[in-house]
């Protein structure tokens, strides 16, 4: 590590360990945000360099033996690392980050033709979407429009929503994660002559709002539909503790999804729903004081069960945005919780020291605990939403100047 980089990161770590460091809350948060972004840049540059010559690979996690685990472009996680690189280029303006971002974005190009699952939204919007936003590259636009067309083929007018998986366990499974894929469709509706994309996204959000949520605004992970009647025929989980439990990242997907729906449509019912979901999450009796959730709020082994940094990152990013659409005490609470999450995630407990953690940014996330897969490990999507949350805070709350202006 260069001496200058070492000094920056070392000072930032000392700041987190010393509560008197900084003159006020705003300066403390600015220090934390900049420290997190600086660490992310160091880690991500190392990561990008390590796979530069292996053009079919993208980072995913760390295996049980501490080994670096990659994926090909077909994995649902493949678009997150390119997205991290684009965000860091936006924050820093370093030309090498742009070169890396372009390289890793190109690796997922073939996914524009994927019709076998809903993850094309995750894969393309995080990578090509951020690339388009920052460069205005028309080739990126073409890929995204084709991706939206591919995703739209999974919509069934009878159920009114997009099918997530082709699995025999369920007739027509729709998972709460699917809310995140709607951003690609809404973008496509605004950037093409095809209004059907927006109609599909709104239909999916409406049906999900009706059928995925319980009276307290917690949500199921999976709802399967009868394709003849269009009504739910099964509700359960694939990644949570139990069918009726509150899987933490799932609650985060729900919150983020409806905040995004409000941003893109300005329909008040989506904002109202996001507020209800946020209140459920923030007031949950099993939410720790540091605001990094246990992997499932209903795991009976709490507190002796893993936390999930990825859930905290998703929730923090959504709450920062939601605080901008609301007023008064609730808005302040959203921001306060998000700030606590960023402080915790930026502490030595969760933020990796440069050169460690196989060059992932965050530690301690949970992929699928019931299947004993990716438990208490770094995950590429945790890094993505953490960096997104830092950048959102820097732009929206601190009002700091960003190095690269949005082109689109």
Closest CA to 308 of 317, 300, 297: 297
The active-site residue, picked from 34, 177, 296, 308, is: 177
Contact 252, 382 (CB under 8 A): no
Distance between CA 73 and CA 31 in Å, rounded? 35
Closest CA to 90 of 329, 300, 302, 394: 394
Closest CA to 83 of 108, 64, 61: 108
Q: For Cα atoms 164, 168, 169, give the angle at the middle one, nearest 5 degrees.
A: 85
State in Å, rounded, how far the first CA of the chain is from the last one: 35
Q: Can you give the three-state secondary structure of the chain, one letter per residue?
A: CCHHHHHHHHHHHHHHHCCCCCCCHHHHHHHHHHHHHHHHHHHHHHHHHHCCCCCCCEEEEECCCCCEEEECCCCCCCCHHHHHHHHHHHHHCCHHHHHHHHHHHHCCHHHHHCCCCCCHHHHHHHHHHHHHHHHCCHHHHHHHHHHHHHHHCCEECCCCEECCCCCCCCCCEEEHHHHHHHHHHHHHHHCCCCCHHHHHHHHHHHHHHHHCECCCCCECCEEEECCCCCCEEEEECCCCCCCCCCEHHHHHHHHHHHHHHHHHHCCHHHHHHHHHHHHHHHCCCCCCCCCCCECECCCCCCCCCCECHHHHHHHHHHHHHHHHHCCHHHHHHHHHHHHHHHHHHCCCCCECCCCCHHHCCECCEEEECCCCEEEEECEHHHHHHHHHHHHHHHHHHCCCCCCCCCCC
Beta bridge partners of 307: 294
The active-site residue, picked from 25, 34, 94, 119, is: 119
Q: Is 119 a catalytic residue?
A: yes
| Both tokens assigned to 231 | 């009504």
Residues acting as catalytic residues: 119, 177
């Amino acid at each position: 590590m260069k001496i200058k980089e070492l000094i920056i990161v070392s000072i930032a770590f000392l700041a987190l360990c010393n509560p008197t460091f900084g003159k006020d809350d705003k300066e403390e948060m600015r220090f934390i945000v900049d420290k997190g972004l600086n660490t992310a840049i160091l880690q991500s540059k190392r990561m990008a360099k390590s796979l530069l010559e292996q053009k079919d690979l993208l980072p995913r996690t760390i295996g049980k033996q501490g080994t670096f685990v990659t994926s090909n472009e077909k994995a649902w996680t493949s678009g997150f690392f390119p997205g991290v690189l684009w965000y860091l280029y936006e924050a820093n303006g370093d030309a090498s980050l742009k070169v890396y971002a372009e390289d890793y974005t190109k690796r997922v190009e073939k996914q524009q033709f994927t019709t076998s699952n809903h993850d094309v939204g995750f894969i393309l919007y995080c990578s090509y979407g951020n690339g388009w936003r920052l460069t205005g590259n028309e080739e990126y636009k073409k890929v995204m429009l084709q991706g939206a067309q591919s995703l739209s083929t999974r919509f069934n007018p009878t159920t009114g929503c997009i099918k997530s998986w082709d699995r025999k366990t369920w007739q027509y499974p729709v998972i709460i994660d699917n809310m995140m894929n709607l951003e690609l469709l809404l973008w496509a509706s605004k950037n093409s002559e095809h209004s059907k994309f927006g109609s599909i996204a709104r239909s999916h959000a409406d049906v999900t709002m009706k059928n995925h949520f319980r009276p307290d605004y917690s949500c199921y992970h999976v709802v399967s539909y009868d394709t003849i009647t269009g009504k739910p025929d099964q509700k359960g989980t694939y990644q949570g503790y139990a069918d009726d439990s509150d899987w933490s990242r799932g609650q985060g997907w729900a919150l983020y999804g409806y905040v995004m729906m409000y941003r893109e449509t300005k329909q008040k019912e989506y904002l109202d729903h996001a507020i209800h979901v946020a209140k459920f999450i923030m007031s949950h009796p099993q939410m720790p004081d540091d605001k990094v959730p246990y992997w499932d709020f209903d795991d009976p082994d709490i507190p002796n069960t893993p936390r999930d940094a990825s859930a905290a990152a998703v929730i923090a990013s959504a709450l920062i945005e939601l605080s901008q659409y609301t007023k008064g005490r609730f808005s302040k609470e959203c921001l306060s919780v998000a700030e606590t999450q960023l402080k915790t995630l930026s502490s030595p407990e969760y933020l990796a020291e440069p050169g460690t953690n196989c060059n992932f940014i965050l530690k301690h996330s949970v992929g699928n605990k019931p299947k004993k897969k990716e438990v208490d490990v770094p995950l590429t999507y945790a890094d993505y939403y953490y960096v997104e949350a830092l950048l959102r805070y820097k732009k929206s709350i601190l009002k700091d100047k960003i190095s690269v202006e949005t082109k689109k």
